[in-house]
Structure 1
Amino acid sequence: MAAKKKKITGDKKRKLLLVLRILLLTAALLYLFFFFYNNYFVENKAKLYFSSVDANYLKVEERVLDEKGDLYLQLFKELKAGPTEKELVRTIPEESKLLDYQIEGNNLKLNFSLELRNNHWGGSTGELMTIYSIVNTYTSLDEVESVKILLEGEEVETLVGHLDLSQPLMYNQKLTVSN
């Protein structure tokens, strides 16, 4: 026995087309809503990395940044200001300055004043927390893969004698803990 093919009448075709049009219109409206929401209503949040009190790890603290200001300078300003959470501590000496920066491909060169070294509290752990606080913060940006640290425009082998800064550094997940 052959299966009978069911014909769709003109009235049913119109109803089916109407339902399809409504679904397409709904999908288009939802797409536009999410597009505008993500581009115009989501705050410009940045991830900053600060040291735990015991200096065993870095933890993220989110900050809202001014969309009109220079992102790289704002990130350093916020790092220098220190954390707002009690269980975290600052990683950057207050007197330090970010003199300028250059982006070459996915590598970011950050040029700091000598105060980053001269006013640093020292120690291998302190140096590790300072450097990776900077590196992890900047590499959390989509466009930055690695960070090269300079002091007064000069390449340096180390900040205070413990961590090799002769090469660009990448994000260090081993030092971070999730919130």
Structure 2
Amino acid sequence: MKSIYKFMIFIIIVMIVMLILINIREDIKYSSEENAIPPIANEIKTTVKLYFIQGNELVEEKRTIISKDSHIENQIIKELIKGPRNKTLISPMPKNVKIISAETIEGIYYLNLSREFIDNNLWNTIDRRLIIWSIVNSVTELNYIKGVQFLIEGEKMTFDFEKYSLESPFMFSEDFIREDKNTPFGVIKEFLNNILTSRYDKAYTMLSDESRKSISFEDFKDIFSDYNNDLENYDIFTYHTQKFSNYVKVTVIYVFLEADGFDYNKKIEEDWKLVRENGMWKIVVID
């Protein structure tokens, strides 16, 4: 009997020890979870183009930025607020402006800023187009952003300036960038000028390699020989550039020109595709 009692006591002791060990293990587990160090978010390192103001032009400044999320556009705005490294350039945004909210929806970047953006000396003394496109061009350098919609404390700006409306998104524009003849729109303008002056030989050299392989000079000349008639009395009104991973698309809008000005009811819209070859923009006429 004594042996049985001893055995039972031994079993009870073993069970008690096991229960104690289990409780200690659970305590360690919970303690580890409470003190766990969260994983560090992956940092994204990107080189971007920022556009700052100098005189009546926008000047490009390249900068490498580090972001902890995929919204590089938000970091670009913060870098514009920080200002240029070249002190001869001017930032489009005052230091005290606040980003209330910012999000990208279907390629449009909705930038909601505090009133300091327009209630400052810069907005009232400098060409406002430079301020707008300094921001727009910087953000739309990203391939996935087509335009920027400005908001001031949640509301669209209701006043217009020049021929532009602040109630609609703004697209990339080369108009104010320091002149470089080999910009996409600059190439299109030169190409059209060659066509309109019957310099088909010069225009043909502006095509991409693939286009010139696909279309002979004679066929090219036949295609564009009637171009003067198609655009007679039309003039370029505006354009916008959309960037993709391996090409850009320039949409040119022509408006009928009458004696007393443009007839905005008569418009022609054309899309031009350009690719980069040997450091130059070339026009694609055959897909």
TM-score class normalised by the smaller sequence: 0.5 to 0.7
Distance 1:62 1:178 in 2: 17
Cα deviation for residue 171 of structure 1 reads: 0.6
Measured against aligned partners, the alpha-carbon deviations of 1:30-69 in whole angstroms (never above 9, x if no partner) come to xxxxxxxxxxxx95111110001x2x11011111111425
User: 1:77 and 1:178 mapped to 2: Cα distance?
Assistant: 26
2:108–2:149 Cα contact (<8 Å) kept = yes
Query: Is 1:119 the equivalent of 2:120?
Result: yes
Corresponding residue for residue 21 of structure 1: none
State the match for 1:61 in structure 2: 61
Distance 1:67 1:121, change over 3 A: closer
Contact 2:52–2:58 (Cα < 8 Å) also in 1: yes
Residue in 2 aligned with 1:131? 132
1:109-150: CA deviations, max 9, x gaps?
Answer: 111111101124234743212111110111111110111000
Equivalents in 2 of 1:123, 1:132: separation in Å?
16
Q: Does 1:44 align with 2:84?
A: no
Judge conservation of contact 1:149–1:156 (CA < 8 Å) in 2: yes
Q: Percent identity?
A: 29
> In structure 2, the residue corresponding to 1:65 is in which secondary structure?
strand
Give me the whole-angstrom Cα distance separating, in 2, the residues matched to 1:146 and 1:121: 23
Equivalences for residues 102-113 of structure 1 within 5 A: 102-113=103-114
CA offset at residue 98 of structure 1?
1.5
Mapped partners of 1:138, 1:47: distance in 2: 9
Instruction: Quote the Cα distance in structure 2 between the aligned partners of 1:139 and 1:158.
Output: 23
Higher relative contact order at CA 8 Å, sep ≥6: structure 1 or structure 2? Answer: 1
| 1:128 counterpart SS class | helix
Aligned residue identity for 2:64 = V
Matches of 2:89 and 2:122, distance apart in 1: 16
Detail structure 1 runs of 4+ shifted over 4 Å in the superposition.
none
In structure 1, distance between residues paired with 2:123 and 2:82: 19
CA distance in 2, matches of 1:100, 1:71: 14
SS in structure 1 at match of 2:94: coil
Pair 1:93-2:97 in alignment: no
**Contact 1:96 1:114 (8 Å CA) reproduced:** yes
Equivalent residue of 2:123, what SS?
coil
Amino acid at match of 1:49: Y
Q: How big is the shift at 1:94?
A: 1.1
Partner of 1:172: 173
* TM superposition shift of 1:87: 3.1
Aligned pair count? 135
1:50–1:105 CA distance, 2 compared to 1 (3 A): same
> Which structure has the bigger radius of gyration?
2
SS of alignment partner, residue 137 of structure 1: helix
* Structure 1: stretches of 5+ with no match in the other structure: 1-41
Q: When the two structures are superposed, what TM-score results if normalisation uses the length of structure 2? A: 0.43
Amino acid at match of 1:63: R
State the distance in 2 between where 1:174 and 1:152 align.
29
Please tell me whether the aligned partners of residues 48 and 63 of structure 2 are also in contact (alpha carbons under 8 angstroms). yes
Higher strand fraction: Structure 1 or Structure 2?
2
Counterpart residue identity of residue 107, structure 2: N
Mapped to 1, the partners of 2:173 and 2:124 lie a distance apart of 19
Gaps of 5+ in 2: 1-43, 181-287
